[in-house]
Amino acid sequence: MLLTKFHIPSTGDKVVHRAALFDKLNKGLHGKLILVSAPAGYGKSTLISDWIIKDEIPAVWYSIDKRDNDLVEFLSSIIQGTKTFNQEIGAHAIEVLKSPQKLDLEKILESFINDLLKLKQDLLLVLDDFHLIENYEILQMIAFILEHAPNNLHILISTRSDPAFPLARLRSQNELLELRSSELNFTLNDIITLFNKNLKLDLTIDDIHLLKSKTEGWIAGLQLAALTIQGRDDISDYLKKFAGDNRYIMDYLMEEVLSNQTQEVKDFLLKTSVLERFSAPLCNTALQIENSQQLLESLEKENMFIIPLDNEKIWFRYHHLFADLLNQHLIHKYQDEINGIHLKVSKWFEQNRFIYEAIVHALKANNADRAMNLLNENIEGHWVRGDHSAILEFGKQLPEQKIITNTKFCIFYTWMLITAGEIKKAERYLNETEKIFITNNKDDDSYKDTLGKLSLTYALLYALLGKKEMVIKYSEQAISNLSDKNPLWNGWAYVTFGDAYLMNANLAESEKSYSLAIDNAKKANNQYLQITAKYKYALCLARHGKYKSAFQICKEQLDFFNSRLIDDELYVNYK
């Protein structure tokens, strides 16, 4: 988890404080939701962070990016943010989210919402760049929180497009405050403050009106204009040359911004635009230079749309619109160098243990071999941590043949495809990778263990398809091949095996399998596996008519729960 995602962006000393909008935002704290919705470049994040800082609003800030479409990771991050105000908040919920079994999201949310009542103050949860959320389950989750949130929780969503929430209902209940582009546009007074008071450019009132007309108050356009007119003697004549719609004006301003920079700065801007976030050491590697720190300090001082991501100003990003425009120029001017830049960046991220970014840039460099090597080294860690959306994302970007010929990654990818409901695709991948693996890897030291994991994935697939005989076949094959040194995988294999026999009403074999699962859970020191196996074992005993034994296991489990020696995640989930 990147701590910079919780950093409230600093506003700098040239920000225009917008008191009227602050007052309106303060009124929003009487309701459940504040929606700040406008296209790129309207100053949404700056307004919100400036308001929070100036009015000292207790807030949790979460900067969303495309990686945040995993439901578990998203909710975990929100809960972790609230824990900065009270460590007890979400303690149970955060642990439950780590469990490998299917989650009861509603119960987890209820636990988290109840914990929020422990807060002795109102809390604002800011979800910045919410338009990047595409996962419908996350939208449903936020809607659930809004519906059931206590009075001390307020959510602010900053987005380029309205979320799929029941906004009409919130409006009718006076629980929604909205700020849109028409209100976010700079007024004449705001433009005067920016150009004459903060930047000391002494524009005439006619120049101010002209800027307002040309940009329609669009803040990004005004900031770009400020960069182009600084140091000019013919400002009025210069501004009169602008004509046409915003797109053409911005294209012209973009050329003006770049043309006023040295070649060194131009190259730095263009070539670092491939990075979603960057630091001086990373830029030095990407561009094979040594003065990135000085360049970054200079760019920040000149307000060149560079935004610090932490208080120490180690990590930065470009304004999104500025980055997009830079990227267009990069493709036009240095297209042959782009893959090489991505490859250098990938190696830097790997060396500094940012594995996700290393894989992302290997893929952007069109280097599938490097991406697959990184994935094979780290894929099980992603799986154990529950970073399932990343596995799916990477799999979709890799050539099908590359996935099929790399059985280790294919096992985890097809596992994710199965849980995502893409059964036919998963079955085809499993069939193809099994043929290749069995043909080419029989002499490999890890052959049997990998075959066991492959078989367990098959068992999962056929369990969902309701093919009992196939579940039993592959459960047996998994158990016979998995290494004794891997009790966690063995334990889940025995659970699957027990489930298969339970489907066939073979209670004796089912009992035996669950018992072995319990033994492996103890070896793996995994409470979740142990409790899962025990309650399934108790269920099997009860179906077998062994009610006293089943009752005794259940009683022991309840006593264990009440002793609170159990992990918090399990306490909430099973209680």
pLDDT in tens, 371-385: 999 999 999 888 766
Evaluate if residue 573 carries a pLDDT over 70: no
Rounded to two decimals, the pTM is: 0.70
What does the pLDDT look like over 338-362, one tens digit per residue? 999 999 999 999 999 999 999 999 9
Sorted by where each begins, the domain ranges of the chain are 3-184, 188-259, 263-366, 384-574
What pLDDT does residue 256 have? 63
Give the Cα separation of 387 and 77 in Å (integer). Answer: 13
Q: Looking at per-residue confidence, does 509 or 572 come out higher?
A: 509
Q: Please name which of 526, 541, 463 lies closest in space to residue 496, comparing C-alpha atoms.
A: 463
What pLDDT does residue 33 have? 96
What percent of the chain is modeled with pLDDT above 70?
92
Instruction: DSSP for 429-493, please give it.
Output: HHHHHHHHHHHH-TTSTTHHHHHHHHHHHHHHHHHHHT-HHHHHHHHHHHHHHS-TT-HHHHHHH
User: Could you identify the residue written with the tokens 């970007």?
Assistant: 397
Instruction: Name the region of 12 (left: φ>0; alpha: ψ -120 to 50; beta: rest).
Output: left
The CATH number of the structural domain formed by 263-366 is: 1.10.10
Give the Cα separation of 451 and 443 in Å (integer). Answer: 12
Evaluate if residue 248 carries a pLDDT over 80: no
Domain 3-184 has CATH 3.40.50.300: yes
Task: Give the type of residue at 354.
Answer: F
Q: Is 256 exposed, middle or buried (0-12, 13-18, 19+ CB in 10 A)?
A: middle
What does the pLDDT look like over 434-484, one tens digit per residue? 999 888 766 666 888 889 999 999 998 998 888 888 988 898 888 888 887
What does the pLDDT look like over 152-175, one tens digit per residue? 999 999 998 888 888 888 999 999
What does the pLDDT look like over 517-548, one tens digit per residue? 999 888 887 777 788 899 899 999 999 899 99
What pLDDT does residue 504 have? 83
**167-181, 292-306, 391-405: least confident range:** 292-306
CB neighbours of residue 219 within 10 Å: 22
Predicted confidence band of residue 211 (pLDDT cuts 50, 70, 90): confident
As a whole number, the mean pLDDT across the chain is: 87
Q: Looking at per-residue confidence, does 2 or 302 come out higher?
A: 302
Residue 60: DSSP 8-state: E
Contacts of 396 (CB under 8 A, 6+ apart): none
Give the Cα separation of 90 and 83 in Å (integer). Answer: 7
User: Could you identify the residue written with the tokens 């900067």?
Assistant: 63
- Average pLDDT for 118-127: 92
Contacts of 486 (CB under 8 A, 6+ apart): 449
- Average pLDDT for 88-107: 80
Evaluate if residue 569 carries a pLDDT over 50: no
Give the Cα separation of 277 and 326 in Å (integer). Answer: 14
**224-228, 286-290, 335-339: least confident range:** 224-228
Predicted confidence band of residue 492 (pLDDT cuts 50, 70, 90): confident
Hey, what CATH topology would domain 384-574 get?
A: 1.25.40
Q: Looking at per-residue confidence, does 60 or 246 come out higher?
A: 60
What pLDDT does residue 443 have? 66
Task: Give the type of residue at 78.
Answer: I
What pLDDT does residue 280 have? 97
